[in-house]
Amino acid sequence: MREKFTDINRLVIKVGTRVLTHETGKLNLHRIESLVREVADLTNSGREVILVSSGAVGAGMGKLGLNEKPKTIPEKQAAAAVGQGLMMHIYEKLFAEYGLVVAQVLLTREDVADRRRYLNARNALFRLLQFGVVPIVNENDTIAIEEIRLGDNDTLSAMVAGLADAGLLIILSDIEGLYTSNPRENSAAQLISEVEEITPEIEILAGGAGTKMGTGGMVTKIQAARIAASFGIPMVITHGKKTGALRRVVAGDPCGTLFLPGEHKPAAKKRWIAFGSNIKGSITVDQGAYEAVIKHGRSLLPIGVVDAQGEFHTGNVISILSPQGDEFARGITNYHLEELIKIKGKNSSDIENILGYKDFDEVIHRDNLAVRV
């Protein structure tokens, strides 16, 4: 897999707050200059690079003279509002020295969850890349509140990688990768070079989340790896404070931790259904329907539906639960809640007699259904 990295044309690179700032919260300009130089070199080699950059809140903290990370949403928004402009000013100035233009792209969960806005963001990124621009993406912390937050820039970077059909996601952190235990507490901890599958044991190794400056820890990076893998995109975590980290990853050197992608790369629409959309309700299916979807990739018919809950309408994305109550897929429903309650457990040929009409044989067509890893 690493040997193939040299042929990848489009990359998403996420850089964390702890990489970009000093412990004081102020920007580490030397490291930002080094990052820009490496990204510019990748661009000059003919690759398309999207940079997902943290640091806005940290930069704002330094500018506002705050010694600790803000705890309230208004304080975070204020720090982000100050820091975002500062970050973009620095990026614009540094990239310009290499003849490159940058563009600011701010996203919230609503931009990803709404299908039309998702497609608009996707098209905008594609066009920026066609113009040779380096998009710099961040969550719109200035206006985001808990209900519309993507949560952290690790998750955001995985979503952007899927949004942009990237071939590789690189997360630059303040640690080399995933270890067998916390290397800051155990000097005998060993770096895990490659992760084939994210198992419960891998999740346990991730430990707790958060640092004084950053939002996410290894937990959020594992979640990002899970999303990327389901998109068919490999992800590498490596030490962003080491000079030449990006060059080594792209060259296929065995640095950091590589998370292998899934065997299949789903279509963009199914990627959005699986991880981007807002869930409006859920349905529980029987064992036969569960196996038909999982093993054979079939559509979901009303006869396999056992129960339906929530407040969803035709065209909404709903969660599909196994007989044990675990979510295993999501899909765009052809029927709203009240209709589905009436036709659940029935044959498709009975729908018209029950409802007085029949628009679809399927509750969810397989083209609008995404199995979640």
Least confident of 21-25, 46-50, 64-68: 21-25
Per DSSP (E only), the strands in 186-267 are: 194-195, 235-239, 257-259
Angle among Cα 64, 70, 72 to the nearest 5 degrees reads 125
For the chain, the domains span 2-269, 278-371
What's domain 2-269's superfamily in CATH? Acetylglutamate kinase-like (3.40.1160.10)
- pLDDT recorded at residue 146: 47
Rounded to an integer, the average pLDDT of 294-312 is: 93
For residue range 150-187, what is the model confidence (pLDDT) as tens digits? 457 888 899 899 889 999 999 999 889 999 888 878 88
pLDDT in tens, 236-246: 999 999 889 99
**What topology is assigned to 278-371 in CATH?**
2.30.130
Is the pLDDT reported for residue 214 higher than 60? Answer: no
Residue numbers belonging to the annotated binding site: 14, 54, 141, 153, 173-174, 215-221
pTM of this prediction? 0.78
The pLDDT score that the predictor gives to residue 206 is: 78
Cβ–Cβ under 8 Å, residues 50 and 135 = yes
Query: Average pLDDT in the 182-193 region?
Result: 85
Kindly tell me if the per-residue pLDDT of 72 is higher than 90: no
- pLDDT interval class at 209 (50, 70, 90): very low
> Is a pLDDT exceeding 90 seen at residue 26?
no
- Among the listed residues 163, 49, 139, the one whose alpha carbon sits nearest the alpha carbon of residue 95: 49
Annotated binding site for ATP: 14, 173-174, 215-221
Is the C-alpha dihedral spanning 282, 283, 284, 286 positive or negative?
negative
Picking from 358, 296, 301, the residue whose alpha carbon sits closest to that of residue 331 is 301
Q: How far is CA 216 from CA 13, 51, 170, 366, in A?
A: 16, 17, 15, 35
In the chain, pLDDT over 70 holds for what percent of residues?
Answer: 92
Distances (CA, A) of 211 to 6, 9, 68, 174: 33, 33, 11, 11
Q: Which residues are annotated as a binding site for substrate?
A: 54, 141, 153
Give the residue among 174, 165, 205, 202 at the shortest CA–CA distance from 189: 205
> Are the C-beta atoms of 253 and 279 separated by less than 8 Å?
no
Please name the amino acid found at residue 316.
N
Of 235 and 27, which is predicted with more confidence? 235
Which pLDDT score is estimated for 151? Answer: 53
- pLDDT reading at 65 higher than 90: no
> In angstroms, how far is CA 84 from the centroid of its own chain?
21
Residue 284 DSSP label: E
Asked whether the beta carbons of 28 and 21 are under 8 A apart, the reply is yes
Residues 6+ apart with CB under 8 A from 330: 273, 274, 277, 279, 317, 318, 319, 320, 369, 370, 372
For the stretch 310-331, pLDDT in tens is 999 998 899 999 999 999 999 9
